Amino acid sequence: MRQNYLFTSESVSEGHPDKVADQISDAIVDLFLSKDPEARIACETMTTTQLVALAGEIRCKGVYENGEWAPGALKEIEDTVRETVRDIGYEQAGFHWETFTFENRLHAQSAQIAQGVDASGNKDEGAGDQGIMFGFACSETPDLMPATLYYSHKILERMAADRKGKVVSFLEPDAKSQVTLRFEDGVPVACEAVVVSTQHAKDYCDPWEDAKGNKGGDTEKAAELKAYVKAVIADILPVQLLSDATKYHINPTGAFEIGGPDGDAGLTGRKIIVDTYGGAAPHGGGAFSGKDPTKVDRSAAYITRYLAKNVVAAGLATRCTIQIAYAIGVSEPLSLYVDTHGTCVAGVTDAGLEQAIQSIESLGGLTPRAIRTKLRLNKPIYRQTAAYGHFGREPEGDAFPWERTDLVDELKAALKG
């Protein structure tokens, strides 16, 4: 591993058009799981100017059975979508929670996929698809996440809280952030640059004039917005990382009044690096949002994060990447791979960690059913995952169970055994 380098990660706010789509898709997952814990959902969302469209495959007792919608189900779905957009904060002419056109094209899950995935007779529940999934943890932050992504998320979370709490009046829902840190001896020592682009109220930007003579912007309002963003950055990043040499790029393109789905179409699953580790770890390519937990794109990514986080929390390594692979319809994983990037402590090896993980009785194995059972995933806990990252979040109640570090003692014991 390189020890001295610059590294950058980005995040996007809950009002980013792709994240609007992710949150809608996961709100649908939660709705169906609240009706039927064994529901099958693959919900894709597309958003654009005054339009939200759903597509995908479902199976849900009491909602959609034998090709028929239950009474009131279609209205409940639409109400869920509109409430999600309302919570995000869109009440703009180009995208308003109450007036956008809504299209629902959800339909029955393929019977041929179902027969491969469902348990029957002596056959255990199979993986919902083939694929490879990765989990990662490192000691850069208290949440054992890459620092560049951690701070990128936190900046936007704070801005969203200030917007919704009316701490400031000029922020709109769409925003992006990016943090570049300098690492020495593998440790972040300085913030080289921060980029924040935020949708804003009218004229909170530097003066501008287009080719048609239209004008806008206000120097004092622009300065107010920039000062606010710099204050948020100063509050989020550790003081020792910031200096006079840190570069700030705040709304570098100028005016950003048109945003969200009105400014750019959004699709479920287009922010998979934001959702995971900010580019600091590999990604298998599968998105999470809109999928029930039988889909290993989601559940296996959660269990590998859980395992990697417990390896680092146990003090066995300072960085850990775990890969797992599945075949559609097959319950047992095809492979398990652990890489601690040369950071494991004396007496611990990557191969030893692989064996230890597979011997832990409380896991019950790494089949899709075992993962769902261990992490209790058949619950409506997913909409809150769809903005500001699926990892590095605080486990509370049923939420984010893959962030717990309750496997530390068993992992250590398995290594000794």
Q: From the annotation, which residues make up the binding site for L-methionine?
A: 57, 109, 264, 295
Show binding-site residues. 16, 18, 44, 57, 109, 174-176, 264, 270-271, 287, 291, 295
Report in angstroms the alpha-carbon separations of 108 from 44, 70, 295. Answer: 14, 13, 16
State the catalytic residue, choosing from 108, 265, 325, 399.
265
Catalytic status, residue 309:
no
Give catalytic status of residue 166 as yes or no: no
Catalytic (active site) residue 61 = no
Catalytic residue chosen out of the listed positions 153, 154, 176, 305 = 176
Residue 271 among the catalytic residues = yes
Amino acid at 319: R
The active-site residue, picked from 40, 82, 270, 383, is 270
d(CA 391, CA 246): 27
Q: How far is CA 378 from CA 103, 133, 221, 222, 288, in A?
A: 27, 19, 48, 47, 15
Binding site for K(+), by residue number, is 44
256 tagged catalytic: yes
Sign, Cα dihedral of 266, 280, 398, 89 = negative
Binding residues for ATP, as ranges, are 16, 174-176, 264, 270-271, 287, 291
Residue 75 a catalytic site member: no
Name, in order, each residue with C-beta under 8 angstroms of 238's C-beta and a sequence gap of 6 or more.
Answer: none
Active-site annotation holder among 297, 339, 403, 410: 297
Closest CA to 233 of 179, 280, 190: 179
Among this protein's residues, is 416 annotated catalytic? no
Taking the C-alpha atoms of residue 11 and residue 113, their distance in angstroms, rounded to an integer, is: 34
- Secondary element (H or E) of residue 415: helix 408-416
Please identify which of the residues 200, 271, 298, 390 carries the catalytic annotation.
Answer: 271
Q: Are 289 and 271 in contact (CB under 8 A)?
A: no
The strand pairing partners of 248, in sequence order, are 194
Contact status, residue 173 vs residue 200, Cβ threshold 8 Å: no
Query: Distance between CA 53 and CA 92 in Å, rounded?
Result: 18
Is 262 noted as a catalytic residue in this protein? Answer: no
User: Phi, psi at residue 385, to the nearest 5°?
Assistant: -80, -15
Q: Which of 143, 264, 350, 354 is catalytic?
A: 264
Q: Of 19, 40, 82, 390, which residue is the catalytic one?
A: 19
Active site residue 215: no
Can 400 be counted among the known catalytic residues? no
Q: Known catalytic residue: 18? A: yes
**Could you give the CA distance from residue 155 to residue 232 in angstroms, rounded to a whole number?**
7
Q: Which of 14, 16, 203, 300 is catalytic?
A: 16
CB 381 within 8 A of CB 136: no
Active site residue 44: yes
- Cα gap 22→13, rounded to integer Å: 11
Binding residues for Mg(2+): 18
Q: Which one of 35, 53, 55, 57 is the catalytic residue?
A: 57
Catalytic residue among 14, 30, 44, 275: 44
The single residue of 32, 256, 288, 400 carrying the catalytic annotation is 256
Among residues 153, 154, 163, 295, the one annotated as catalytic is: 295
The residues carrying an active-site annotation are 16, 18-19, 44, 57, 176, 256, 264-265, 270-271, 291, 295, 297
